[in-house]
Amino acid sequence: MERGATDWILTAMAALVFGYPFVMAWYWMVGGLLFYFTRQRGMAPPDRPEPMDHWPRISILVPCFNEGENAEETLETAAAVDYPEFEVIAINDGSRDNTAEVLDRLAGRIPKLRVVHLASNQGKATALNTGALLAKHELLVCIDGDALLDPHALRWIARAFRRGDVGGLAGNSRIRNRTSLLGRLQVGEFASIIGLIRRAQTMYGRLFTVSGVICAFRKRTLDEAGWWSPRTITDDIDITWRVQLAGWRVIYEPNAIVWILMPETLRGLWRQRLRWAEGGVQMMQEFFRPMITGRTPSLLPTYLNFLISIVWSYLVLFALGVGLLWAVGLGPPRPIPAFRLVPDWWGLTLTLTYLTQALLSHFLDTRYERRMLQSMFWVIWYPLAFWMLSATTAAAALPRVLLRPGTVRGTWVSPDRGLR
């Protein structure tokens, strides 16, 4: 191949490497602004949700696996929320620690709490299906066994389900462990990336995923969607797509707040993000046929965006490798400017774009955390720390999922809960 053609291909690849995050950042920012002006600006304060004539009854599902250290705080907080009528169902999924004893003790003193014990680890999806089938009420709120539900979250969730076409809801996860650099970085990530993306996707019509740590569904919706699949790697991604393919809307409700624990070690963070990436790749496989047959055309842009992100991940690693070779003098004598480790004006453009995105996101999230700007110092390191993590986990996830036996049941592995 002639040098001119090679240079053109490399330049096009570099344009995708730097252009994709640039375009997506503005796509998210526009969506976030639309969400603010059409929905958030006129909302009541988070701790004073507007009243309703009738508050629907709610069942809170709390699947637990090895949650002996966290279950008491989580369930006591859930049982104390400000809501007229609800129940709490804790599902012990074959825990190997003292979770069973803790749950039984709590059931004796918390009237709203019911406890279900599964004999062995069947996976989070099976635990959720068990709790949903036993639930007395139509509206189901699902939280993790280490999550602290905000006192007003249920009222905001109930209000969101007033719309008859809403079948699922993603809540607002806030980081509560901030003792390390990784913890502080994730505070910025959840505000400047995840929250903004979900606002934008709500405005554009389709969510990629709810958050498994806080989500809500109608029981009828789950029945039509086929319930949670025990074969999935990430139950939250899978059920989000199932619900939307069944014809229901899934939206983001930022006032439905839950406080969560996140990994604060590199190993724990890698394992978590690799699992997330594997769940996305599995979604790409499972829902390929509905996408190409046009079953739900409005989901196609979200699906294609994920495919592009996989290609982008491999190109990022390729670009990094080429840049390192040229930096140490092992590459061709005439490098393509875009593949230098310091990518000239593209690097500055991305930096300024991301800072704009972070400022906008922090402005939107000061409603929920007044001192969000204090994390801005840590946010500026996000591209270096987390874009590379996203690229490497996505690149590693693709072959792992493609080579994974399709009959394997997804069971629990206790995650890194930070430095306690």
On the question of pLDDT at 184 being above 80, the answer is no
What crossing angle do the helices spanning 196-204 and 344-365 adopt, rounded to 10°?
A: 80
pLDDT band at 29 (very low <50, low <70, confident <90, very high): very high
CB of 356 closer than 8 Å to CB of 29: yes
Looking at residue 121, what is its pLDDT?
86
pLDDT score of 220: 96
Whether residue 346 has pLDDT greater than 80: no
**pLDDT tops 60 at residue 171:** yes
What pLDDT shows up at residue 292?
A: 87
Q: What is the pTM of this model?
A: 0.88
Q: Which of 408, 236, 344, 270 is CA-nearest to residue 15?
A: 344
Higher pLDDT, 248 or 188: 248
Buried b (16+ CB within 10 A) or exposed e, 9-22: ebeebbebbbebbe
Residue in the block written with tokens 């998210």: 28
The pLDDT of residue 408 is above 90: no
User: Mean pLDDT over residues 120-139, rounded?
Assistant: 93
Residue 378 has pLDDT above 90, yes or no: no
pLDDT at 87 over 60: yes
Residue 319 predicted with pLDDT over 80: no
For the cut 70, the answer to whether the pLDDT of residue 385 exceeds it is no
Do residues 244 and 208 lie in contact, with contact meaning Cβ atoms separated by under 8 Å?
no
Which has the minimum average pLDDT: 10-24, 108-122, 243-257? 10-24
Q: What is the pLDDT of residue 8?
A: 74
Task: State the pLDDT at residue 76.
Answer: 95
Overall average pLDDT of the 277-292 stretch: 88
The radius of gyration of the chain from alpha carbons, rounded to an integer in Å, stands at 22
Answer with the residue of higher pLDDT: 297 or 10. Answer: 297
More reliable by pLDDT, 80 or 387: 80
Phi, psi of 348 (to 5 degrees): -65, -40
Tracing tokens 């599964």 back to the chain, one arrives at 118
Give tens-digit pLDDT for 208-250. Answer: 999 889 999 999 999 999 999 988 888 999 999 999 999 999 9
The mean pLDDT value of the chain amounts to 84
